[in-house]
Amino acid sequence: RLAERPVRELMTPRTEVDWIDVNSSEDEILKRIEESPHSLLPVAYGSPDNVLGITKVREVLATRLAGEPIVLRELMRKAEVVPDQLD
């Protein structure tokens, strides 16, 4: 049962997390989205250890289709953080 498992067991190892660097170019952002099967991606500064927020892939793509610049800081939302020690 999910409620009986500690958070640590449900976490994805940091090295396996798909993420986007906040300073990526539009081409790099679109490449990361294309390579990932996920609809939500963490936005980080430099590494997945520095998560700034989360972005919805569909919002990034809608921005691109509208011909507007992709500015991740404007598209991301606050990421909820759950301590890995939580039972």
For the chain, the structural domain boundaries read 14-75
CATH 3.30.70.20 applies to domain 14-75:
no
pLDDT digits (tens, 9 = 90+) for 16-63: 789 999 999 999 999 999 999 999 999 999 999 899 999 999 999 999
Residue 9 scores a pLDDT above 80: no
Q: What is the pTM of this model?
A: 0.82
| Tokens, residue 73 | 């800081």
pLDDT of residue 87: 59
E-assigned strand segments in 35-84? 40-44, 51-56
Higher pLDDT, 1 or 46: 46
